[in-house]
Amino acid sequence: MYDPQPTASHYVNGAYLEDTSGTPIPVIYPATGEVIATVYAATPAVIDAALAAAEAAQKLWAKVSPRERGRVLTRAAQIMRERNHDLSVLETRDTGKPLQETLVADATSGADALEYFGGIAAGLTGEHIPLGEDWVYTIREALGVCVGIGAWNYPTQIACWKGAPALACGNAMVFKPSETTPLCALKIAEILTEAGAPAGLFNVVQGMGEVGSALVTDPRVAKVSLTGSVPTGRKVYAAAAEQMKHVTMELGGKSPLVIFDDADLDNAVSGAINGNFYSSGQVCSNGTRVFVQKGIKEAFLARLAERLKNAVIGDPLDEATSFGPMVSERQMQIVQGYINKGRAEGARLISGGGRVERDGFFLEPTVFADVTDDMTIAREEIFGPVMAVLDFDTEAEAIARANATEFGLSAGVFTRDLSRAHRVIGQLRAGSCFINSYNDAPVEAPFGGVKASGVGRENSKAALDHWSQLKSVYVRMGDVEAAF
């Protein structure tokens, strides 16, 4: 029988691996506070075994035809889809996100990435550049052993968004999940083995920042892809730079969602709900600064308050539940701190603001209005269900204020005026943008930020440039001229 619970802490060289001498990490189900598993942080021996296995596997994998590489990934995608329900339950237990979400946004999104990059693998080629009699050809080569480090909000999706393009390009990977949500990536490793990936191609090791840091600084590693906060990104980027490693940084945001007077009110409210309360607000690209033009502001707030009453808060394993807990007690406390700051700094609380009366780390969906640009809740990433509504008069003002942030991950605009939509989006400094929508992230579209929100892009054909490098070969057909 298929058992959705991983059987050991690490997955190295094609099999589960346990080493209980590492620091124990309790895995807590956020909806109850109950410990559902314990994993052990990787010891130096486990880290070394994972990197050695990846190094050996990568040498073999780079020689496998891209078509065959693609076939393995596609098979893995198919297995994930077949097991979507069990994988979704595991994701819900790991993160606390409602099953209603995980059934459609996690293993399915991971499978999309495996399928997309599996399909594209055979098409990865270099080019021929004619130079008269001479010519240059390019070879798209793998980088080597790559490290993926994940945040806790999308453990399955992050492992696949990094693993799928890395493997398609001929790399091997050592993946370190967040210590808060260590379970799901292990299942991806298991499924890849089942789909035919050679032992050592995709390894998972557990641990806190020190384990991530040991991986990043190991000379065997050619590339690091991190999904995490800006402060961690700064550290990891700097450490990778020491050895001139490739990096992708998918970091935090404080993204603007600009709603004009002429927007369709219900669609705009839906966009704001999706961009603030999905996954209890624990989404990097969330549009947490909601700029609403003054003419529509009160109608927007009234409709939003009404719609929030429909949120079903409760047991995430019940498919009727649409709003779950924070991932951890610590994250709940951080978010409560921001809610208190919002109150203290004079924002008007429209709804929520408190804990939900039940076990686990539940907070109410919270909306503040009359937020000003200088308030803490308008400047800092909260990573929880706290929407800040700010109002504005003119388009130029909205653009200037939306851009006045160190972040640049996402941005959205709601308007019925097509020209304005494109004009505004064109001026917003963000990597992943939306017109009359929010937070769609299909694998076909590049995903990533500008400014402090990161470097590089995940998903789409753009990701291939970040997981491979070009070798160019000049071929001279005639004699070689020399000065002497």
The catalytic site residues sit at 162, 250, 284, 458
Only segment of 51-59, 230-238, 271-279, 336-344 that touches ligand NDP (CB under 6 A): 230-238
Structure tokens at 83: 């097991």
Q: Which stretch binds ligand NDP (CB under 6 A): 248-256, 345-353, 371-379, 472-480?
A: 248-256
Q: Taking CB under 6 A as the rule, does residue 228 contact ligand NDP?
A: yes
Q: Does 178 bind ligand NDP (CB under 6 A)?
A: yes
Nearest one of 219, 119, 99, 180 to 383, comparing CA atoms: 180
Q: Of 77-85, 93-101, 148-156, 369-377, which part binds ligand NDP (CB under 6 A)?
A: 148-156
Binding flag, residue 227, ligand NDP (CB under 6 A): yes
CA distance 472 to 129: 10
Residue 456 within binding range of ligand NDP, rule CB under 6 A: no
Q: Minimal CA–CA distance to 300: which of 255, 342, 270?
A: 270
Q: How far apart are CA 183 and CA 230, in angstroms?
A: 24
DSSP 365: -
Nearer CB in complex with ligand NDP: 180/415: 180
| Interface with ligand NDP, residue 151, by CB under 6 A | yes
Minimum distance of ligand NDP from residue 344's CB (angstroms): 23
Residues 40, 25: Cα–Cα separation, whole Å: 6
- Partners of 468 in beta bridges: 142
Secondary structure element (H or E) that encloses residue 256, with its range: strand 256-259
Tokens of 59: 């040498």
Q: How far is the CB of 441 from ligand NDP (least distance, A)?
A: 9
Q: Does 383 bind ligand NDP (CB under 6 A)?
A: yes
Residue that has been written with the tokens 């709804």 in this structure? 351
Site track 384-423 with ligand NDP (rule: CB under 6 A), x = hit: -------------------------x--------------
Q: b or e along 102-124 (b: 16 or more beta carbons within 10 Å of the residue's beta carbon)?
A: bbebbbbbbbbbbbbbbebbeeb
Give the interface segment with ligand NDP, choosing from 16-24, 245-253, 260-268, 334-342 (CB under 6 A).
Answer: 245-253
Interface with ligand NDP (CB under 6 A), residue total: 30
- Least distance between ligand NDP and beta carbon 483 (Å): 50
Residue nearest to ligand NDP (CB): 212
**Measured from the CB atom, is 93 or 254 closer to ligand NDP?**
254
In this structure, the strands spanning 221-227 and 145-149 are parallel
- Minimum distance from residue 211 beta carbon to ligand NDP (Å): 8
Candidates 88, 92, 108, 232; binder of ligand NDP (CB under 6 A) is 232
Residue 284 C-beta: closest distance to ligand NDP, Å: 3
Of the candidate spans 87-95, 145-153, 296-304, 333-341, the one that interacts with ligand NDP by CB under 6 A turns out to be: 145-153
Beta bridge partner(s), residue 134 = 131
Q: Which of 71, 235, 355, 420 touches ligand NDP by CB under 6 A?
A: 235
Q: Which residue has the tokens 């839906």?
A: 270
Q: 44 near 53, Cβ under 8 Å?
A: no
CB of 395 to ligand NDP, least distance (A): 27
Residue 351's H or E segment, with its range, is: strand 348-351
Taking residue 205's Cβ as centre, other Cβ atoms within 10 Å add up to: 31
**Rg (Cα) of the chain, in Å, rounded?**
23
SS3 373: coil
Residue labelled with tokens 């939003």: 304
User: What residue has token string 């493997």?
Assistant: 167
Please name the helix (run of DSSP H) or strand (run of DSSP E) that holds residue 392, with its range, or none: strand 386-392
Work out how close the CB of 174 gets to ligand NDP at its nearest, in angstroms, rounded to a whole number.
12
CA distance 160 to 193: 14
If one asks whether residue 252 binds ligand NDP (CB under 6 A), the answer comes out as yes
Binding mask 189-218 for ligand NDP (x = CB under 6 A): -------------------xx--xx--x--
Q: 413 pairs with which residues across the strands?
A: 258, 435
Q: Which lies closer to ligand NDP via its Cβ, residue 412 or residue 454?
A: 454
Q: 44 or 295: whose CB is closer to ligand NDP? A: 44
Among 19, 101, 115, 179, binds ligand NDP (CB under 6 A): 179
| Sole binder of ligand NDP in the list 77, 111, 236, 421 (CB under 6 A) | 236
Three-state SS at 272: helix
Q: Is residue 430 a contact point for ligand NDP (CB under 6 A)? A: no
Q: Which amino acid is at 140?
A: R
Q: How far is CA 307 from the centre of its chain?
A: 28
> Does 251 help bind ligand NDP (rule: CB under 6 A)?
yes
Q: Which of 53, 247, 263, 284 binds ligand NDP (CB under 6 A)?
A: 284
Residues that bind ligand NDP (CB under 6 A): 149-153, 176, 178-179, 208-209, 212-213, 216, 226-229, 232, 235-236, 250-253, 284, 381, 383, 409, 449, 454
